[in-house]
Amino acid sequence: MSGNAEMPAYDLSTSALRDLNAKLHALPSNTNETHWTVVNPGGKHALACGLDKPITVEIGGHVGYYCAGMNELATVIVNGNAGVGVAENMMSGTVHVKGDASQAAGATGRGGLLVIDGNASARCGISMKGIDIVVKGSIGPMSAFMAQSGNLVVLGDAGEALGDSIYEARLFVRGNVASLGTDCTAKEMGPDDRAVLAEVLARADLAGVSTDDFKLYGSARRLYHFHVDNVDSY
């Protein structure tokens, strides 16, 4: 087997998306076809979903729903905008959206890094479970709803009801937060939090961004247990 990486190219205006995904799924772990280029995505859904090999897929254009969903080990780069649920339930690897992302970016993600150069709309990081999400622009309302673990780093602003019903997870926001959701609260940023933020920024090639400019939000932990004073509410 030659040591040279091969770079297959795929044109979605002339070839079927299902064939592309099947080819990507069939790659062996030691494949030499490590850098795939996809052109003319045309907003198609479920592009490069369920990858589980350490390859790079670079997409030239806007993608539809669930791009790079369930990603494991792979690096997926979108040179455009992403539709609903980009990198949803990502396990590991990296997904980089160079434009904006629609709703529910990184939803339920368990690991890996999602970087969005533009803005992400509503419900970014909903139910996140370990993923790190970096949004260079702003995020929409109801982001990090029921977030469980992981880090959400936002260089711009956050919309309403940030972190509603949050279990755990760190939410770092540099700009304004329109409002905090139930049981989400501003927290003192300790040295550990600062180290985590610096590490996530560095992985997103943002080592030059100062951690001093961020505020940390997280769980007030008041919803963890039933409170007897609320018994009349039920």
Partner 1 sequence: MCGIAGLYLKNDKLHSELGSLLSQMLVVLTDRGPDSTGFAIYGSGSPKDGKVTLRAEDHGRLKAAVAAVEKQFGAVRPVYRSSHAVISISPEMIPALQAFVAAQADGAEIVGHGARMEIYKEVGLPAKVSERFGLARMTGTHAIGHTRMATESAVTTRGAHPFSTGPDQCLVHNGSLSNHNALRRELKRNGIAFATDNDSEVAAGYLSWCMQEGATLKQALTRGLSDLDGFYTFVVGTESGFAVLRDPIACKPAVMAETDDYVAFGSEYRALAVLPGIEAARVFEPEPARVYVWER
The residue ranges that bind partner 1 (CB under 8 A) are 42-45, 61-62, 64-65, 81, 83-84, 99-100, 102-103, 121-122, 140-142
In whole angstroms, give the CA distance from residue 79 to residue 99. 7
* Residue showing tokens 């990502």: 90
Q: How far is the CB of 141 from partner 1 (least distance, A)?
A: 6
In whole angstroms, give the CA distance from residue 183 to residue 159. 16
> Token digits for 151?
């880090």
Query: To the nearest 5 percent, what fractions of the chain are helix, strand and coil?
Result: 15, 25, 60
CB nearer to partner 1: give 144 or 216: 144
CB nearer to partner 1: give 102 or 108: 102
Give me the torsion for CA of 56, 199, 90, 219, rounded to 10°.
-170
Q: How far is the CB of 121 from partner 1 (least distance, A)?
A: 5
In whole angstroms, give the CA distance from residue 196 to residue 192. 6
CB nearer to partner 1: give 64 or 112: 64
Q: Are strands 35-39 and 56-60 parallel, antiparallel or unpaired?
A: parallel
Q: How far is the CB of 128 from partner 1 (least distance, A)?
A: 19
CB nearer to partner 1: give 67 or 180: 67
CB nearer to partner 1: give 145 or 172: 145
Q: How far is the CB of 157 from partner 1 (least distance, A)?
A: 12
Contact 66, 87 (CB under 8 A): no
> Token digits for 199?
């590490």
In whole angstroms, give the CA distance from residue 46 to residue 118. 21
CB nearer to partner 1: give 83 or 218: 83
Q: How far is the CB of 64 from partner 1 (least distance, A)?
A: 6
Q: What is the largest CA-CA distance in the chain?
A: 71
Q: How far is the CB of 193 from partner 1 (least distance, A)?
A: 30
